[in-house]
Chain A
């Protein structure tokens, strides 16, 4: 493959990535392109407000920094890197299992290593561009308040994007080599979720164990962390120096990122081809069923529920979509455990986190069971009203959420009975609201499209998120300021009412 052909293939990859992204933004509707672009511009503009609230006061920060500031900046960059790495691992794994054009590429007279090196580059590019999109409002705020030196932060985002992509490729191919293609899909999802959430959770866990608070900054700004940290001239602070406008540090960081990605591409592109072939060969797995047992007697509702439970349990992508939400429950659970012995007010923080997680998880599960029906025609020919089939699906969502959250609520009951009651109510209401939104906006889709469920309706996505936030806030206020909780609850109900009004009419 000559350089012209490589360039052509790179253009092809970028065009595909752009169209896929555009389809995600427009929900696959061509007429929405302009609306989507306007929406993105507005979103980017709005993002400057929270960015200002979070980072605005740091715009005047100048080198040299004390250790505490270096730790906070480095930890923030590391957090961004971990999130990018998490996203990149998922992207690389998906490339292996998406058969769409692998047959065509592998049957073509091109050197596979070259083609896949371009594909690896495209993954790095997409991870970096996405990170730039989210980082730009924050950097804009810093530039506006502290001068153009902050533009160096864009370079840092690019550098960490390149290294995240490089590490993701190496890790994923390593997993394929170590545990084989069949187990890698699950292992990579778990790893991506743990990497994505792990750093924040680790900080929170350390904060809970040391200071009895959920705030991750408690650890980062502690004297213990400062005492443990290396001296100011350590290489560890290179990203922090680069962010502050140190050109030499930035150049080093970018060079390191490019070199790392280049080495990984050179070393792994040939293996990438092998791995892709092995992954596609394993796409016809001889998975055995649960167990050999006789058919069980069941009512129609039971048959439907069993099917939904079985499919949820076997869903290959569910893990990556829900594990992170579940992982975020670890710190509140730990805080709860720690607070049994004292009367710490920090325990109040558990309620909104749990309610929020329940709402979000219920939304995903409801989409899978209600919209992600792989055999809609078959279900339509079954001798039972559609309403009964949907009822069975909703029951499954409620049961799963009940089973997952009951232990936490039960444990909470030992610490504070009223708080446990409010948390249980919050979990139930948030779950029902998220499920109702999915029901009002249900679309016919395949389960494999789960990752793109947000594209079917932006309104449903925002309503689901706002409803979870609303009920989490209401539950927290019910514990602290019950009178204000009524207002918050009514506002969330109005939001739900408005969402229902705007939902498509159903037969």
Chain B
């Protein structure tokens, strides 16, 4: 893969808290790819993505986002990146439109374009009736949608999502998957962690499995099956087998 085909390149990424959370991780995600990062609880998925998004300083390693050294030039990297966490943190006292206006201001987007995008995004996520209501009364799913709209309004080229479907109902989850799919088709790269293996199986171009802070398997679903030696096995079975063998090895 040539550098201009790479959306995210991670080399030797390491982070230690009271124990080693991410262990010299190497990861490459192509441009325009929907990449699902799977792993058991505490495997290091969120820590990895938080380091990529600039929320956490790694102990060592290298992170490049679309050719930008994210550790040395974080502002430039953040300009083209979006982050959505599983616990949507938005301002209770702002309305969705006010929140998106604030986000647009931070990313320096033309207000006329931003307002149009904001209304479209919120409408596509089913929040049109709530445009002028403060977020304090919103359900977790609604807050997640507002956070997602905030992440998409500046038209990022790399979207990083940590468990974005948590708390969403089936219809909303389909909306979100559809929206992300559209972005990928438009050339954007999406990296997502999820515990819902069916989602990874259905939407991801490639899947990475992380355990004990290391990437233990990676590839398309077919490649993973091939690596596992069985063509008829489900992602769930493969995942459990991989995680179990890693646990035994540890």
For residue B229, CB closer than 8 A to chain A, the reply is no
For residue B118, CB closer than 8 A to chain A, the reply is yes
For residue A39, CB closer than 8 A to chain B, the reply is no
Of residues A284, A286, A295, A306, which shows the largest number of chain B Cβ atoms within 10 Å of its Cβ? A295
- Knowing A295-B111, A295-B114, A295-B115, say if A288 contacts B133 (CB, 8 Å): yes
Partner of B133, one of A286, A315, A382, A385: A286
**Once the chains are docked, how many angstroms separate the CA of A311 from the CA of B79?**
25
For residue B9, CB closer than 8 A to chain A, the reply is no
For residue A487, CB closer than 8 A to chain B, the reply is no
For residue B105, CB closer than 8 A to chain A, the reply is yes
- Which single residue of chain A is at the shortest CB-CB distance from B55? A380
Q: B187-203 CB contact bits vs A (8 Å, 1 = yes)?
A: 00000000000000000
Contact A381 B136 (CB under 8 A): no
Closest CB in chain B relative to A16 CB, distance in Å: 25
- Knowing A287-B136, A377-B89, say if A306 contacts B94 (CB, 8 Å): no
For residue A501, CB closer than 8 A to chain B, the reply is no
Query: Inside 8 A of B54's CB, which chain A residues have their CB?
Result: 380-381
Contact A383 B79 (CB under 8 A): yes
Query: Inside 8 A of A377's CB, which chain B residues have their CB?
Result: 55, 83, 85, 89
For residue B128, CB closer than 8 A to chain A, the reply is no
Q: For chain B, which range describes its interface: under 10, 10 to 19, 20 to 34, or 35 or more residues?
A: 35 or more
Stretch at the interface among B31-39, B96-104, B209-217: B96-104
Q: For chain A, which range describes its interface: under 10, 10 to 19, 20 to 34, or 35 or more residues?
A: 35 or more
Contact B98 A289 (CB under 8 A): yes
Contact B97 A289 (CB under 8 A): yes
**Once the chains are docked, how many angstroms separate the CA of A397 from the CA of B85?**
30
Of residues A374, A378, A382, A385, which shows the largest number of chain B Cβ atoms within 10 Å of its Cβ? A378
A-B contact pairs, 15 of them (CB 8 A): A287-B134, A295-B114, A299-B108, A303-B104, A307-B94, A310-B94, A310-B98, A311-B93, A377-B55, A378-B89, A380-B54, A381-B54, A381-B78, A382-B107, A383-B108
Contact B81 A375 (CB under 8 A): no
Query: Inside 8 A of A507's CB, which chain B residues have their CB?
Result: 57
For residue B13, CB closer than 8 A to chain A, the reply is no
For residue A30, CB closer than 8 A to chain B, the reply is no
Which B residues from 82 to 132 make CB contacts under 8 A with A?
82-83, 85, 89-95, 97-98, 101-108, 110-112, 114-115, 118, 132
For residue B75, CB closer than 8 A to chain A, the reply is yes
**Once the chains are docked, how many angstroms separate the CA of A147 from the CA of B221?**
86
**Once the chains are docked, how many angstroms separate the CA of A347 from the CA of B126?**
61
- Knowing A303-B102, A381-B53, say if A296 contacts B111 (CB, 8 Å): yes
Interface SS of chain A: helix, strand, loop or mixed?
Answer: loop
Query: Inside 8 A of B101's CB, which chain A residues have their CB?
Result: 295-296, 303
Which A residues from 192 to 244 make CB contacts under 8 A with B?
none
**Once the chains are docked, how many angstroms separate the CA of A303 from the CA of B82?**
18
Closest CB in chain B relative to A493 CB, distance in Å: 34
Taking beta carbons and an 8 Å cutoff, which residues of A are in contact with B? 283-290, 292, 294-300, 302-304, 306-307, 310-311, 314-315, 374-378, 380-385, 507
Of residues A284, A314, A315, A381, which shows the largest number of chain B Cβ atoms within 10 Å of its Cβ? A381
- Knowing A285-B137, A304-B106, say if A292 contacts B94 (CB, 8 Å): no
Partner of B106, one of A290, A300, A315: A300
Of residues A298, A307, A507, which shows the largest number of chain B Cβ atoms within 10 Å of its Cβ? A307
Closest CB in chain A relative to B164 CB, distance in Å: 14
**Once the chains are docked, how many angstroms separate the CA of A51 from the CA of B55?**
50
Contact A375 B104 (CB under 8 A): no
Contact B105 A303 (CB under 8 A): yes
- Which single residue of chain B is at the shortest CB-CB distance from A316? B93
Query: Inside 8 A of A298's CB, which chain B residues have their CB?
Result: 105, 111
**Once the chains are docked, how many angstroms separate the CA of A390 from the CA of B71?**
21
Of residues B94, B102, B115, which shows the largest number of chain A Cβ atoms within 10 Å of its Cβ? B102
Closest CB in chain B relative to A207 CB, distance in Å: 40
Contact A384 B83 (CB under 8 A): no
For residue B150, CB closer than 8 A to chain A, the reply is yes
- Which single residue of chain A is at the shortest CB-CB distance from B79? A383
Query: Inside 8 A of B110's CB, which chain A residues have their CB?
Result: 297
Contact A374 B53 (CB under 8 A): no
Closest CB in chain B relative to A215 CB, distance in Å: 41
Query: Inside 8 A of B93's CB, which chain A residues have their CB?
Result: 310-311, 314-315
Contact A375 B89 (CB under 8 A): yes
Partner of B107, one of A296, A383, A385: A383
Query: Inside 8 A of A384's CB, which chain B residues have their CB?
Result: 75, 106
Partner of B111, one of A287, A297, A300, A382: A297
**Once the chains are docked, how many angstroms separate the CA of A297 from the CA of B114?**
10
Partner of A288, one of B82, B90, B107, B132: B132
Closest CB in chain A relative to B115 CB, distance in Å: 4
Partner of A383, one of B55, B76, B90: B76
Contact B105 A300 (CB under 8 A): yes
Closest CB in chain B relative to A371 CB, distance in Å: 15
**Once the chains are docked, how many angstroms separate the CA of A290 from the CA of B132?**
8
Query: Inside 8 A of B76's CB, which chain A residues have their CB?
Result: 383
Q: 4 closest pairs, A vs B, by CB?
A: A303-B105, A284-B137, A289-B95, A295-B111
Q: B54-74 CB contact bits vs A (8 Å, 1 = yes)?
A: 110100000000000000000
- Knowing A306-B102, A374-B90, A382-B106, say if A289 contacts B112 (CB, 8 Å): no
Query: Inside 8 A of B103's CB, which chain A residues have their CB?
Result: 378
- Which single residue of chain A is at the shortest CB-CB distance from B130? A286
- Which single residue of chain A is at the shortest CB-CB distance from B107? A383
Closest CB in chain A relative to B191 CB, distance in Å: 14
- Which single residue of chain B is at the shortest CB-CB distance from A376? B89
Query: Inside 8 A of B83's CB, which chain A residues have their CB?
Result: 377-378, 381
**Once the chains are docked, how many angstroms separate the CA of A120 from the CA of B128?**
42
Given contacts A294-B115, A378-B89, A383-B75, 11 further A-B contacts (CB under 8 A): A287-B136, A289-B97, A289-B133, A296-B101, A300-B108, A303-B101, A303-B102, A303-B105, A304-B105, A304-B106, A385-B75
**Once the chains are docked, how many angstroms separate the CA of A385 from the CA of B77?**
12
Partner of A290, one of B57, B78, B98, B136: B98
Contact B75 A283 (CB under 8 A): no
**Once the chains are docked, how many angstroms separate the CA of A292 from the CA of B119?**
13
**Once the chains are docked, how many angstroms separate the CA of A297 from the CA of B98?**
13
Contact A289 B91 (CB under 8 A): no
**Once the chains are docked, how many angstroms separate the CA of A489 from the CA of B94?**
42
Closest CB in chain A relative to B24 CB, distance in Å: 23
- Which single residue of chain B is at the shortest CB-CB distance from A385? B75
**Once the chains are docked, how many angstroms separate the CA of A375 from the CA of B201?**
31
